[in-house]
Chain A
Amino acid sequence: MSSMQFGIFSVSDITQDPTTGRTPTEHERIKGWIAMAKKAEEVGLDVFAAGEHHNPPFFSSSPTTTLGYIAAQTERLILSTATTLITTNDPVKIAEDFAMLQHLADGRVDLTLGRGNTGPVYPWFGKDIRDGIELAIEHYALLHQLWHEPVVNWQGKHRTPLTGYTSTPAPLDGVAPFVWHGSIRSPQIAEQAAYYGDGFFHNNIFWNKEHTERMVRLYRSRFAHYGHGEPEEAIVGLGGQIFMKPTEREAKDRFRPFFDVAPVYGHGPSLEDFEQMTPLTVGTPEQVIEKTLAFRDYAGDYQRQLFLVDHAGLPLEEVLEQIEILGTEVVPVLRREFDRVRPAGVPDAPTHAARVAAAKEAGTQLGEQGRAWHEQGERRDLDTGAAIARQEGEVA
């Protein structure tokens, strides 16, 4: 794997194909995701990241289930999210689910935390959207603790307190999954990523680059402020949206009917105007390469680039073709060109193996595989038999 990671991310929308009038079923789209992930690995991409939503027209309500299924059918692909809702999910369940996935996938797991943007989802999960930032901060503080301390005593405002709680399984090799914090325009989230020395991910789609630029700049500066290294050593990920054909005309002609009625930006500006305003590129592989290489002009040298390729009702065959072109024509050039201009001292993209090695060297590893909590002094009194006996006693 090179110093940068490339992959695909998806919001999991189920949208009618405007050129045929056909809407895929949930089952087709879900299985389509698996095909996309396997294709991504086959053509040499590094990452598949699943979105999370809890309302139609989206299908991805359970990313760790999906990613576990993909993990079993892939060898190298890093499984990630875009994003995991740190606001409405229970941080305890996030800690457990992703540690479990991390073990099953032998460390090929990281996650991107986000707040979500659909108003009613908050009350459906018993939360208030006005608490979004506060929830992101409190919940992550707990998640971080659950992944770094064997026994957690915790109390906060938004979740029931914990006394003597051990999150299981412990992180693989005593090193928690790498965490990215995603936000389009909230300085608090850039600040949060910087404080912990975690990664910062900007979706960089649908929005003008000014948002990306100032969020990344703040994150880098604050990363240095909190003593994690130089601003250039911060870990940045970006999104992007592309559609490619051998000629720009073919790409525009084919994509325009999808663009014109797409969720999020449809019925608005022209395709050409939207390409001017946002990182969207509809054209040749060379044009995608050129526009993507220019991202570093405003984000600096960065570690991860994810592309949105399956949005707005594009049929699966077309999506797989995009992944194929990415893997064969675009990403090899991007890897070479980004590496060529990359100064020394810019860190490589995070992998589990590299993070374990770094933790060993720094003495921050929590313990060997499967024994992290034990070596850190989990409660010895709590052997299984005694626990069951006690529980039965309480019931009786």
Chain B
Amino acid sequence: MTNPRIAVVSAGLGEPSSTKLLADRLREATLAALTAHGQHAEAVDVTLRPLAQDIASHMLTHNPSEALGAAIREVIDAEAIIAVTPTFNMSYSGLFKSFFDVIEEGQLASIPTALGATGGTARHSMVMDTAMRPMFAYLKAQVVPTGVFAAAEDWGAASGLDRRIAREGQELADLMVAMPRRREADPFDESSDAFVSFEQMLGHA
């Protein structure tokens, strides 16, 4: 069996990006906790900034570019996701939302998920509970209890950021082990038990 893969989605716009930095730290914490579980996972970074124009085109045409198609597959095929966004206007960024908007409905159901957000001050930290959790609840993802918000000042102070990151990484690793995602059958796979035959559609079987 291949190692479980974690997709690390970060929607930071700067370069370097504190959003990416938080995503990296959450990734390392998760991988370390999985190692303690005896699991060797791989992580793949899905950085949204270079996909911004492709995401907009996808919304207009329903056609993913090759790069965006590959990024979407990384996310929907993963065993878990870590999703981190900067806070804009008291919410996730439009880019972050748009990426999840172009993923087909149902594709993220049951996927273990860790959330993170960054912002200028801690006064934005409600974004996690007012915006991110409702969206991932709609997507039917399994979201871990801890969500790390990193304000600018957290990076230079003994703010407990490390402790919160480690806890969230531990929670995601635990969830991946205890409740791995269930995958829906491919509706085009006629050999699957879940395939709906025409007799069933007609109500004859």
A contact residues vs B (CB 8 Å cutoff):
133, 137, 141, 187-188, 191-192, 194-195, 206-208, 214, 217-218, 221-222, 225-226, 264-269, 273-274, 277-278
The 8 tightest CB contacts between A and B, nearest first, are A268-B60, A195-B198, A268-B57, A269-B57, A265-B61, A277-B63, A268-B61, A187-B187
Q: Can you list 7 A-B pairs with a CB-CB distance of less than 8 A? A: A141-B202, A214-B188, A217-B188, A265-B60, A268-B60, A273-B57, A274-B61
B contact residues vs A (CB 8 Å cutoff):
56-57, 60-65, 187-188, 190, 196-198, 201-202
Interface majority SS (helix, strand, loop, mixed), chain B: loop
Q: For A268, what are the chain B residues with a Cβ–Cβ distance below 8 Å?
A: 56-57, 60-61
Bound-complex Cα distance A187 to B61 (A)? 21
**Given A188-B201, A191-B197, A191-B201, are A218 and B190 neighbors across the interface (CB < 8 Å)?**
yes
B2 CB to nearest chain A CB (Å) = 24
Q: For A188, what are the chain B residues with a Cβ–Cβ distance below 8 Å?
A: 196, 201
Q: For A133, what are the chain B residues with a Cβ–Cβ distance below 8 Å?
A: 201
Q: For A195, what are the chain B residues with a Cβ–Cβ distance below 8 Å?
A: 198
Bound-complex Cα distance A63 to B117 (A)? 54
- The residue of chain B having its C-beta at the shortest distance from the C-beta of A214 within the complex is B188
Bound-complex Cα distance A188 to B196 (A)? 8
**Given A188-B196, A269-B65, are A225 and B201 neighbors across the interface (CB < 8 Å)?**
no
Q: For B63, what are the chain A residues with a Cβ–Cβ distance below 8 Å?
A: 206-208, 265, 269, 274, 277-278
- Of the candidates A206, A266, A277, which one forms a contact with B65 in the assembled complex, judged by CB atoms under 8 Å apart? A277
B19 CB to nearest chain A CB (Å) = 26
A126 CB to nearest chain B CB (Å) = 22
User: What 15 new A-B contacts, CB under 8 Å, besides A207-B63, A218-B188, A218-B190?
Assistant: A137-B198, A188-B196, A188-B201, A191-B196, A194-B198, A206-B61, A206-B63, A208-B64, A217-B188, A222-B198, A225-B190, A264-B61, A268-B57, A269-B65, A273-B57
Bound-complex Cα distance A137 to B202 (A)? 7
B196 CB to nearest chain A CB (Å) = 7
Bound-complex Cα distance A204 to B65 (A)? 17
- The residue of chain B having its C-beta at the shortest distance from the C-beta of A141 within the complex is B202
Q: For B190, what are the chain A residues with a Cβ–Cβ distance below 8 Å?
A: 218, 221-222, 225
Bound-complex Cα distance A226 to B202 (A)? 15
- Of the candidates B61, B197, B198, B202, which one forms a contact with A269 in the assembled complex, judged by CB atoms under 8 Å apart? B61
